[in-house]
């Protein structure tokens, strides 16, 4: 029958699709299987949260260890790990500078039937880090980017025909994708990297500033809003934000400099309130 992909849905159904056959059959999943899946995910969740928090904090060794622990206890389909955990591990490898390892994870996951916009962007970034522009372009997708930032902002991004331009675009796209999922702490490091590669680009600067401001890092956001105010499709709003933040800085300097809790602190807080 071929490779079977099993996906549990919120209606407690499984979709078993025979790859190459084109047929889809829906069937009721036994309650015991659902309960086992839920239990395994509850056990994996703290490790996933810790892995992501350590990744954002730059504690990459700890992030990798937590991701491996999550993989041990998370649900498996045969010998295959959940694609989302492979995606997390690839992201950690990229942060460690191990682009070849990350690219192999992406390829293996796709071979097993896993695919997502984030996984494709990770493949693109791995190729760009390996100076493989053609490979990066083959993975890179702006499928969802325009819907989040608008075509004018996409048109204003760095030239994708150079490695540095492609790296900047990919990091920007990953950061925006995290923002669209309300996970801005994860997205900020990517936008900061994109900005570092294109420091005068007003489109990247504007969204970097916006995300920094959203997570309470006002002081840092101001300098990026100033770059965003020099041009681009969001120049008017960037100017308004500069004015507002300068007023806050002048009237309430302590509040302006105060930062939100770190990702690791947030992860601990989430775990503390879980039943």
Tell the residue number behind the tokens 């950690």, with chain if given.
92
Q: What is the pLDDT of residues 117-174, one digit of tens each?
A: 999 999 999 999 999 999 999 999 887 888 899 999 999 999 999 999 999 999 999 9
Q: What is the H or E stretch that residue 5 is in?
A: strand 4-8
Any alpha helices (H) in the chain, and if so which ranges? 31-57, 60-73, 83-95, 99-111, 117-129, 133-139, 145-149, 151-155, 163-180, 184-197, 202-214, 218-228, 235-251, 253-257, 263-273
**pTM, 2 dp:** 0.81
SS3 category, 59: coil
DSSP assignment of 222-250 equals HHHHHHHTTSSTTHHHHHHHHHHHHHHHH
Q: Which long-range contacts (CB under 8 A, 24 or more apart) does 70-73 make?
A: 70/44, 73/40, 73/43, 73/44, 73/47
Q: What is the pLDDT of residue 77?
A: 59
Q: What is the pLDDT of residues 95-126, one digit of tens each?
A: 999 999 999 999 999 998 888 899 999 999 99
Q: Strands 80-81, 76-77: parallel, antiparallel or unpaired by DSSP?
A: antiparallel
- Write down the number of H helices and E strands in the chain: 15, 5
More confident residue, 259 or 87: 87
Tokens encoding 195? 């900005």
Residue 189 has pLDDT above 70, yes or no: yes
Q: What is the pLDDT of residues 73-82, one digit of tens each?
A: 887 655 566 7
For residues 94 and 122, the answer to whether their CB atoms sit within 8 Å is: yes
Distance CA 215, CA 127 (A): 30
Nearest CA to 113 among 18, 25, 255, 239? Answer: 18
For residues 116 and 197, the answer to whether their CB atoms sit within 8 Å is: no
Q: For the beta carbon of residue 125, count every other beta carbon within 10 angstroms.
A: 29
Tell the residue number behind the tokens 């492979």, with chain if given.
86
For residues 173 and 191, the answer to whether their CB atoms sit within 8 Å is: no
For residues 227 and 258, the answer to whether their CB atoms sit within 8 Å is: no
Whole-Å CA distances, 127 to 136, 150, 181, 265: 5, 26, 25, 33
What is the band of 273 on the pLDDT scale with cuts at 50, 70, 90? very low
Percent of the residues in the chain that have a pLDDT greater than 70, as a whole number: 81
Tell the residue number behind the tokens 């390829």, with chain if given.
107
Nearest CA to 105 among 86, 127, 84, 124? Answer: 86
């Amino acid at each position: 029958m071929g490779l079977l992909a099993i996906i549990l849905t919120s209606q407690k159904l499984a979709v078993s699709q025979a790859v190459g056959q084109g047929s889809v059959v829906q069937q009721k999943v036994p309650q015991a299987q659902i309960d086992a899946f839920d239990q395994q995910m509850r056990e994996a969740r703290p490790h996933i949260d810790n892995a992501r928090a350590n990744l954002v904090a730059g504690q990459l060794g700890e992030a990798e260890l937590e991701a491996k622990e999550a993989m041990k206890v998370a649900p498996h389909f045969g010998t295959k790990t959940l694609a989302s955990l492979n995606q997390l591990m690839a992201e950690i490898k990229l942060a460690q500078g191990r682009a070849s390892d990350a690219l192999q994870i992406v390829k293996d996951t796709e071979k097993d039937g896993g695919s997502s916009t984030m996984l494709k962007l990770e493949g693109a970034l791995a190729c760009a880090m390996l100076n493989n522009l053609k490979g990066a372009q083959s993975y890179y997708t702006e499928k969802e980017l325009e819907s989040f930032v608008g075509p004018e902002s996409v048109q204003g991004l760095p030239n994708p025909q150079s490695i540095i331009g492609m790296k900047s675009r990919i990091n920007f796209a990953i950061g925006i994708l995290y923002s669209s999922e309300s996970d801005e702490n994860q997205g900020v490091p990517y936008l900061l990297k994109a900005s570092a590669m294109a420091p005068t680009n007003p489109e990247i600067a504007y969204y970097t500033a916006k995300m920094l401001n959203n997570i309470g890092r006002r002081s840092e956001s101001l300098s990026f809003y100033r770059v965003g105010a020099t041009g681009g499709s969001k120049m008017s709003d960037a100017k308004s934000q500069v004015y507002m933040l300068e007023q806050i800085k002048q009237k309430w300097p302590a509040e302006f400099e105060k930062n939100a809790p770190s990702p690791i602190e947030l992860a601990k807080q989430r775990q503390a309130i879980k039943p």
